[in-house]
Amino acid sequence: MDGDADSDGRAAAIARAVFLDRDGVINRVVMRLGRPESPRAMSEFAFEPGVAAAVERLKAAGLRLFVVSNQPDLARGKLAPETVAAMTGAIMRALPIDAVRVCPHDDRDDCGCRKPRPGMLVELAREYGVVLGDSFMIGDSWKDMAAGRAAGCATIMLERDYNCGAAADYRRPTLADAAALIVSIMDGGR
């Protein structure tokens, strides 16, 4: 895309993006039997503190913003498609997100879209003209980090009690801290 001209003959800008996991990044996880899981009802769905300001900062920096989420409870029959649609709608109404992608499969389905595979990121990059090597993946699990690495993105792990051992390019306590890091990197570390 770099060097392509638009209809006015100007060089087209390279699109950079931030891919955000949903549960544990955009909204709070639900702890079940000591494990972090996705909300299964709208009554369990709550945004993480500070998410709106952090996402607005990323959008103001000129980044495309995408939510990419594994939702295996759909395949397991524990989550209704209408509930996922309602949660997606709540995200799209509240935040300046360009698109949301959901993988409805379980591990046994062996699909290309379920993280740790990079399918959702690659599909969105193709659709929106995003350069993956200039983009970022923010998540709270090793699967998010592996998907980001496989796609060629820089990875940022949000520190949670349940992900201490997961590897990432960067670790930050909050989405606001991750947004500040990305803006700093885009500004050349200034």
* Residue 110 annotated in active site: no
pTM across the whole model = 0.91
Q: Of 2, 4, 8, 21, which residue is the catalytic one?
A: 21
* Residue 21 annotated in active site: yes
> Residue 6 pLDDT more than 50?
no
Whether the Cβ atoms of residue 175 and residue 53 lie closer than 8 Å to each other: no
pLDDT (tens digit, 9 = 90+) per residue, 133-144? 999 999 999 999
> pLDDT exceeding 90 applies to what percent of the chain?
87
CATH architecture of 17-186: 3-Layer(aba) Sandwich (3.40)
pLDDT (tens digit, 9 = 90+) per residue, 145-181? 999 999 999 999 999 999 988 899 999 999 999 999 9
Cα(151)–Cα(131) distance, rounded to whole angstroms?
10
Spans of all domains in the chain: 17-186
Q: Of 23, 73, 140, 144, which residue is the catalytic one?
A: 23
pLDDT (tens digit, 9 = 90+) per residue, 24-81? 999 999 999 999 999 999 999 999 999 999 999 999 999 999 999 999 999 999 999 9
> Residue 11 pLDDT more than 50?
no
pLDDT (tens digit, 9 = 90+) per residue, 90-119? 999 999 999 999 999 998 999 999 999 999
